[in-house]
């Protein structure tokens, strides 16, 4: 069998440190996930991921601090008010949040994230973060995953001890969500202006998404100059409209995350996938997430008892895919990398 020469040339250009063009990204996405060309793309992605993190994959761990119906109504999210999964509001106590974060620290997570729904009061989030941060080891990398915020909000996050944020312009943003994509971009700009590092992802990918949208969201993610990119699939929330469309397979996602990796290039240290899986880790995902508390892909408010993975399980998956795993604070969120 002979590799398609055009695909080989694009991949070689990416591996040689050249930024691949938007039409080239599109061309890579059109390759079937189970093909000689795709495995070549996935191998190249893996090699690039190994170079950018000096061979060490990472496990980050997120505590979801609240549940409740969210008026932003992202159709893929269990908190969307219209999905009617969580009808009550509930917030973990600061003591409980600290306990969960410290457990993740002990388990060896390389960074700790606090996540709240978009309608969670921002001041309350900052107030909680200010209690959590001093309870963590001084070197622990602390990341926020919240709704949109302005420049003052970004400064408040920085002041509360966060190194960075997770933020994405999701597939279907503004169509299956009640959020203007411009608002999401504004938040990313505010975060960067305040000196917060930004991690992002092409997500949540479903069979419903056109090739053009995948390409566009990959381009946008690259333009954000994040500390990590990657790709994650939409998980079906039972009983929702989107669930009827099914899900992309892990094999399909491995191809997509590999293309995103090559599109990002060497200047982006990390490449994530979610939920954790070995095929993705083989194909160049160098960052997996453990989760506890609430989770927008879960109908159980304690995701650790359902969909959420532990740090140990994420480390096992990476290890089985042949990765060494970083001990200590995240290198992905190391400012001097940029």
Residues that bind ligand SF4 in the complex, under the rule CB under 6 A: 70, 72-74, 77, 79-80, 117-118, 147, 177, 296
Tally of residues, the chain: 338
* Closer residue to ligand SF4 (CB): 8 or 302: 302
* Closer residue to ligand SF4 (CB): 177 or 286: 177
What does the angle CA 252 – CA 254 – CA 205 come to, to the nearest 5 degrees? 60
Shortest reach from residue 242's CB to ligand SF4, in Å: 12
Shortest reach from residue 138's CB to ligand SF4, in Å: 30
> How far is residue 57's CA from residue 70's CA, in Å, rounded to a whole number?
33
* Closer residue to ligand SF4 (CB): 38 or 177: 177
Shortest reach from residue 78's CB to ligand SF4, in Å: 7
Shortest reach from residue 291's CB to ligand SF4, in Å: 14
Query: What are the tokens at 13?
Result: 């250009």
Helices then strands, each counted (H, E), the chain? 11, 12
Query: What are the tokens at 132?
Result: 């959590």
Shortest reach from residue 72's CB to ligand SF4, in Å: 4
DSSP-derived secondary structure for 265-316:
-TTS-EEEEES--HHHHHTT--EEEEEEE--TT-SSSSGGGTTPPPHHHHHH
* Axis-axis angle for helices 250-264, 22-29 (nearest 10): 160
Distance from the first to the final alpha carbon of the chain = 40
* Closer residue to ligand SF4 (CB): 273 or 294: 294
* Closer residue to ligand SF4 (CB): 239 or 335: 239
């Amino acid at each position: 069998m002979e590799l398609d020469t055009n695909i080989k040339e694009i991949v070689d250009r990416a591996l040689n440190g050249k930024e691949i063009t938007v039409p080239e990204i599109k061309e890579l996405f059109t390759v079937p996930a189970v093909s000689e060309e795709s495995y070549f793309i996935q191998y190249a992605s893996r090699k690039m991921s190994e170079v950018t993190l000096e061979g060490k994959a990472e496990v980050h761990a997120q505590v979801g601090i609240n549940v409740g119906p969210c008026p932003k109504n992202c159709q893929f999210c269990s908190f969307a008010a219209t999905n009617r999964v969580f009808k009550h509001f509930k917030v973990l106590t600061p003591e409980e949040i600290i306990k969960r974060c410290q457990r993740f620290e002990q388990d060896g997570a390389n960074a700790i994230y606090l996540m709240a729904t978009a309608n969670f009061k921002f001041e309350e989030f900052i107030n909680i973060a200010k209690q959590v941060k001093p309870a963590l080891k001084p070197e622990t990398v602390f990341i926020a995953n919240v709704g949109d915020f302005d420049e003052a909000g970004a400064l408040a996050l920085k002041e509360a001890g966060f190194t960075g944020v997770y933020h994405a312009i999701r597939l279907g943003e503004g169509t299956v969500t009640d959020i203007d994509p411009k608002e999401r971009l504004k938040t990313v700009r505010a975060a960067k202006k305040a000196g917060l590092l930004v991690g992002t992802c092409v997500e949540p990918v479903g069979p419903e998404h056109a090739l053009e949208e995948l390409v566009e969201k990959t381009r946008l993610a690259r333009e954000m100059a994040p500390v990590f990119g990657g790709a994650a699939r939409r998980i079906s929330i039972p009983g929702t409209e989107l669930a009827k469309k099914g899900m992309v397979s892990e094999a399909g996602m491995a191809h997509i995350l590999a293309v995103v990796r090559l599109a990002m290039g060497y200047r982006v240290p990390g490449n994530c996938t979610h939920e954790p899986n070995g095929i993705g880790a083989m194909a160049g995902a160098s960052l997996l997430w453990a989760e506890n508390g609430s989770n927008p892909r879960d109908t159980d408010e304690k995701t650790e008892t359902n969909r959420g993975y532990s740090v140990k399980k994420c480390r096992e998956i990476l290890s089985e895919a042949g990765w060494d795993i970083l001990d200590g604070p995240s290198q992905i969120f190391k400012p001097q990398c940029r």
